[in-house]
Amino acid sequence: MENGGFVGEICADETDSTAQAAVAVRNAYKRYTPTAVILKNLNMTVKQSTVYGLLGPSGCGKTTLLSCIVGRIHLDSGSVNLRIRQKSKLGYMPQTLQLYVQLTIYENLAYYGYVFGMDKKAIQEKADELCTFLQLPPQHKLVSNISGGQQRRVSFAVALLHDPELLILDEPTVGLDPVLANNIWERLLEMTKHGKTIIITTHYIEEAKNAHQIGLMRGGVLLAEESPSSLMANYNCSSLEEVFLKLSYKQETQQSQPQPIEEFTIAEKPPPLPLEDTSVFRFTRFYATFMKLLYLSRRELRFVAFLICLPLAQSVFFNLAIGTDPTDLKIGIVDDELSHGLRECRMSRNNHCAYNYTEDLKLSCLYLDELEKKNFKLIEFDDIVSGKKAIKSSDQTWALIHFPRNYSEALSQRVNDGHDASGEALFHSSVDVWVDLSNQYIGNMVRRDIYYATQNFLQSIFMVCGDSPRLGSLPIVFNEPIHDIGTPGFIHFASVAFIILSSFYFPLISSEALILNDKMEGIIERSVVAGMKFAEIAVADSLFLGVVYILQMIITMVVLYGVFHNPFKGDVAISLAILFLAGVQGIFFGILIALNSNTYTEGAYLGIGSNLVLTFISGLVWPIESHHFLLKLVSPYFPLVLPTEGLRAVTAKEWGIDHPVVIKGFQSSFIWCSIFIIGVFLTLKFKKNALIIYK
Ligand SMILES: Nc1ncnc2c1ncn2[C@@H]1O[C@H](COP(=O)(O)OP(=O)(O)OP(=O)(O)O)[C@@H](O)[C@H]1O
C-alpha cells in the first residue's frame, strides 16, 4: 500500500497476501438502502496469528463489516475470504447480547457448546475456566439476574468456548474493569501464539495499541491498516488519535464531494457467504436445541403450567358455556280465564276430560304446566298492554302469552265439535303469543318450546279423555334417527370443530412463540453463525411441541369426551390421525408466521387473526351449510374446513377412511401441511430477514 493512500486503493502486488491471510476482504461494497451505502470498496487483510484492532467512530460500518465476515449478511459486491473453512472454527461475539436471559450462565454456555459439537464434560471444564477468568458470578445464576457488563462477559465466554481459530469480537471490552480488560488483551495475545487470529472492534484507541495490526475505519473505508508503531512512525505522530485525525482530514479533502452511488457496481447475484455450510443435519445441534427447550421449560414452569392449563380451561369453559339451551327464561302470562290469577291453578281441578266442560275446568292451567316443564319461569301480568310494556322495557322477559276469557270452553267446543266448531270457538281457543326476537337464537328457541308445550298440552287433553294422544299431535312421526348421537345439541356439533381448532391452534402459538422469540433476541442468528441449520431447530422444536401437544390433546379429549360426554362413536385411530395432521399444520403455520413477522406484535396479529377466520368458517360458530354462497365456493379450500367435516363424519356417523368425506378431510390436511412446509422453505430461501432481525 502506498504510504498515505487509503486501503481501498489496493496495490496489485498485495493480491498474493489474500491467499495467505486469515481474513481478506476485497472491494467490499454494502448498502442497506440505495442511499445508505455503508462499505465503500473496502479492503482489509488480517494476517494469521495476529490481533487486528478495528477502530472507528460510531456508525462508520465496523459491525456491518464484521457481519459480512462472519456470514451474517451478504456483501453487495466484493469478496470475503477466510482461511478457516468450517463454521465451528469461528468464534463470534456480536454487539447485541443474543443469549437466553431466562437461562442460567451455564445453560447458555451448554447450549452454544452443544451447537459447536462439544460434549458435556468439555463444556463444563471450559465453562469453569472461562467463568473464573472472566470473573463471572456463579454459573447457576440466571443471565437476567446479572449486570449488563456481566451479561456481555457471558457472551464473550460463548465466543471463546470452543477454542476457535478465528475469533471476531464486536466491542468485548465495553464497560469492563481496566484490570479485567487488560487480562483479556493478554489472553488474546497469548492465543495468537497458538495460531489463533482475532479481530476486535473497540472505541478505546489506547487499548488498541496492544493489537499487532490496526485498521482505522471511517465512512465505510479503511483509512489505514498497519501496526500501531508503523502507523505513528509513518504519519509522524506521537499517538494513534493524532494519526486518525490526520487521516480523517485527508479523507475529508480527498472526498469533499460525496461519491455518487452509481460508481459502485453491484453484482447481480450477491457474492457467496464466506463459510457456506454444506454439512447435513447434525445430531449435536438438534440436541442443543432440544436441551435448551428442556432448560427453558424447567425455568419457565409457569409457562409450562399455562400450556397445560390452557386446553383444560378452554375445553371446560367451552362445554360449560356453549351449546346447551338457555333455561329459566321468563315468559309473561295474561290469563283472562283465571279470576284469581295463576294461584287459582293450584286450587282448581284441571285434569278432567275436556269433552265434559264445566265451569271449574281451567285448561290454561294444564297449558301453563307444560310451559313450566319446558323450564320457563312464568310471570303474571294483568293485561296485554302492561305485559308488552314489560317486554319492551326489560331484557328479562322473552315472550307474552295471552289466554282469552273463555279459553277452556272454546277449546272444549273445538275438541267436541271437530270440523263443525264455530268460528268463535276456533278464535277463542287460540292463545296469542308475542315473542321478543331481538336475540334471534333465544327468540327462536322460545318459539320452538312454546310449540312443543302446546303439542304436549293437546296430547295430555286427549289422554285424560282416554283417547290416543296422537289426536293432539301434528300428523307426522319422527322415527329412530339414522345417526343417533343421543340428544343432539349444538355443542355436539361444535365440539368437533373445537377439538380440530385446538389441535391446530395450540401448536401454532407454541411454535410461533418459540421461533419468533429466538429470532427477535438474535439467538437464531448467533446459532446460525455458529453452524446451526434451521432444519435442526425446526425438528427439535417440533418434537418438543409434539410432546406438549399430546399432553394438551389428552387433556382436551378427556374433558370433551370423558367428562362432558360429547358424542364419539367412530374409529379412534382415524380421528387421532385427523387431529395429528391438524397439529402438524399448526406447527408449520406457526413457524411460517414467525419467519414472516418482524415484530412480536405482527406475529401476535397474524396468529390470532388467522385463527379467528378459521374459527368462523370451520363450522365452530355456525354450520358451513348456511354460509354465503360465495364463501361456500371457497371455504372448502381453507385449512381445517374439510378435516372438520371428516372428523364429524367419523365421530358422529361412524364413516370409515374410505368414505369420500373422510378422504377429502385427509387430502385437505396433506395439501395444507405441504403448503405450509413449502412456504417455510420459500421464506427461508427468499425472505431477507426470515431468521434475522437487523437491529
Ligand atoms: N439493518 C440496517 N438497515 C439500515 N441501516 C443500517 C442497518 N444496520 C446498520 N445500519 C446503518 O449502517 C451504518 C453503520 O452501522 P454499523 O452498526 O455497522 O456501525 P458501527 O461502526 O458498528 O457503529 P457502532 O460503533 O456504534 O456500533 C449506521 O449508519 C447504521 O445506521
Contacts of 215 (CB under 8 A, 6+ apart): 7, 44, 52, 53, 54, 55, 222, 224, 225
494 pLDDT band (50/70/90 cuts)? confident
In the prediction, which pLDDT does 5 show? 41
C-alpha cell, 534 = 434451521
Per DSSP bridges, beta strands 221-226 and 213-218 are antiparallel
- Closest residue (by CA) to atom 31 of ligand 1? 59
Q: Is residue 219 lining ligand 1, measured as CB closer than 6 Å?
A: no
Please tell me the distance between residue 340's alpha carbon and the centre of ligand 1 in angstroms.
89
Average pLDDT over residues 264-284: 75
Q: Is residue 220 lining ligand 1, measured as CB closer than 6 Å?
A: no
14 pLDDT band (50/70/90 cuts)? low
Q: Is residue 59 lining ligand 1, measured as CB closer than 6 Å?
A: yes
Strand partners, 435: 399
Distance CA 227, CA 312 (A): 67
Q: Is residue 56 lining ligand 1, measured as CB closer than 6 Å?
A: yes
Decide if pLDDT at 321 tops 90: no
Decide if pLDDT at 8 tops 60: no
Please tell me the distance between residue 410's alpha carbon and the centre of ligand 1 in angstroms.
93
Which has the closest alpha carbon to 80: 222, 268, 226, 273?
273
Q: Which of 25, 44, 62 to mutate to test the pocket of ligand 1 (most atoms within 8 A of CB)?
A: 62
Given the CA of residue 64, which atom of ligand 1 is nearest to it? 18
In the prediction, which pLDDT does 203 show? 79
Average pLDDT over residues 61-88: 91
C-alpha cell, 616 = 368462523
Please tell me the distance between residue 414's alpha carbon and the centre of ligand 1 in angstroms.
93
- Residue 301: count other Cβ atoms within 10 Å of its Cβ: 9
Q: Phi and psi for 439 in degrees, rounded to 5?
A: -110, 105
Please identify which residue in the block is written with the cell numbers 488519535: 241
Average pLDDT over residues 618-624: 77
Distance CA 232, CA 241 (A): 10
Distance CA 375, CA 42 (A): 84
Decide if pLDDT at 92 tops 70: yes
385 pLDDT band (50/70/90 cuts)? very high
- Closest residue (by CA) to atom 17 of ligand 1? 63
- Residue 689: count other Cβ atoms within 10 Å of its Cβ: 13
Please identify which residue in the block is written with the cell numbers 442468528: 525
For residues 237 and 261, is the Cβ–Cβ distance under 8 A?
no
Please tell me the distance between residue 80's alpha carbon and the centre of ligand 1 in angstroms.
19
- Residue 12: count other Cβ atoms within 10 Å of its Cβ: 6
Q: Is residue 35 lining ligand 1, measured as CB closer than 6 Å?
A: no
- Please name the residue ranges forming H helices in 116-174: 120-133, 148-160
Please tell me the distance between residue 54's alpha carbon and the centre of ligand 1 in angstroms.
15
Please identify which residue in the block is written with the cell numbers 377412511: 657
Q: Is residue 61 lining ligand 1, measured as CB closer than 6 Å?
A: yes
Q: Is 550 helix (H, G, I), strand (E, B) or coil?
A: helix
Please tell me the distance between residue 246's alpha carbon and the centre of ligand 1 in angstroms.
24
Distance CA 404, CA 338 (A): 10
Q: Is residue 32 lining ligand 1, measured as CB closer than 6 Å?
A: yes
- Closest residue (by CA) to atom 20 of ligand 1? 59
Given the CA of residue 203, which atom of ligand 1 is nearest to it? 25
Distance CA 365, CA 363 (A): 5
C-alpha cell, 62 = 465496523
Distance CA 377, CA 333 (A): 10
- Residue 282: count other Cβ atoms within 10 Å of its Cβ: 19
Average pLDDT over residues 282-303: 92
Please tell me the distance between residue 32's alpha carbon and the centre of ligand 1 in angstroms.
9
Average pLDDT over residues 38-51: 93
Q: Is residue 67 lining ligand 1, measured as CB closer than 6 Å?
A: no
Q: Which of 64, 93, 203 to mutate to test the pocket of ligand 1 (most atoms within 8 A of CB)?
A: 64
96: burial class by Cβ within 10 Å (0-12, 13-18, 19+)?
A: middle
Whole-number mean pLDDT of the chain?
87
Distance CA 88, CA 39 (A): 27
Per-residue pLDDT tens for 434-486? 999 888 888 899 999 999 999 999 998 888 888 888 888 888 888 877 776 66
Q: Is residue 64 lining ligand 1, measured as CB closer than 6 Å?
A: yes
In the prediction, which pLDDT does 194 show? 93
Q: Which of 38, 44, 65 to mutate to test the pocket of ligand 1 (most atoms within 8 A of CB)?
A: 38
Question: Which DSSP letter does residue 13 get?
Answer: G
Per-residue pLDDT tens for 502-553? 999 999 999 999 999 999 999 999 999 998 999 999 999 999 999 999 999 9
Decide if pLDDT at 367 tops 80: yes
- Closest residue (by CA) to atom 25 of ligand 1? 58
In the prediction, which pLDDT does 73 show? 87
For residues 78 and 26, is the Cβ–Cβ distance under 8 A?
yes
* Distances in whole angstroms, Cα of residue 557 to Cα of each of 502, 543, 576, 621: 11, 21, 10, 20
Please tell me the distance between residue 94's alpha carbon and the centre of ligand 1 in angstroms.
13
Entry pTM: 0.81
End-to-end CA distance of the chain: 35
* Distances in whole angstroms, Cα of residue 329 to Cα of each of 325, 376, 615, 628, 644: 10, 5, 29, 32, 33
Average pLDDT over residues 280-290: 91
Please tell me the distance between residue 476's alpha carbon and the centre of ligand 1 in angstroms.
80
Distance CA 615, CA 592 (A): 19
Per DSSP bridges, beta strands 221-226 and 329-335 are unpaired
Per DSSP bridges, beta strands 23-33 and 36-46 are antiparallel
In the prediction, which pLDDT does 10 show? 46
616: burial class by Cβ within 10 Å (0-12, 13-18, 19+)?
A: middle
Given the CA of residue 217, which atom of ligand 1 is nearest to it? 21
In the prediction, which pLDDT does 678 show? 97
- Residue 502: count other Cβ atoms within 10 Å of its Cβ: 26
Please tell me the distance between residue 206's alpha carbon and the centre of ligand 1 in angstroms.
23
Per-residue pLDDT tens for 110-137? 999 999 999 999 999 999 999 999 999 9
Please tell me the distance between residue 522's alpha carbon and the centre of ligand 1 in angstroms.
16
13: burial class by Cβ within 10 Å (0-12, 13-18, 19+)?
A: exposed
Name the CA radius of gyration of the chain, rounded: 39
Decide if pLDDT at 143 tops 70: yes
Q: Is residue 694 lining ligand 1, measured as CB closer than 6 Å?
A: yes
Per-residue pLDDT tens for 199-254? 999 878 888 888 999 999 998 889 999 999 999 999 888 888 888 888 888 887 77
Q: Is residue 58 lining ligand 1, measured as CB closer than 6 Å?
A: yes
Given the CA of residue 695, which atom of ligand 1 is nearest to it? 1
Decide if pLDDT at 492 tops 80: no
Dihedral angle, C-alpha 72, 77, 82, 85, nearest 10 °: 70
350 pLDDT band (50/70/90 cuts)? low
Please tell me the distance between residue 695's alpha carbon and the centre of ligand 1 in angstroms.
8
Q: Is residue 60 lining ligand 1, measured as CB closer than 6 Å?
A: yes
C-alpha cell, 37 = 451505502
- Residue 501: count other Cβ atoms within 10 Å of its Cβ: 23
Please tell me the distance between residue 96's alpha carbon and the centre of ligand 1 in angstroms.
13
Decide if pLDDT at 2 tops 80: no
Per-residue pLDDT tens for 159-207? 999 999 999 999 888 877 888 888 889 999 999 999 999 999 987 888 8
Q: Is residue 689 lining ligand 1, measured as CB closer than 6 Å?
A: no
At residue 73's C-alpha, the angle toward residues 605 and 48, to 5°, is: 150
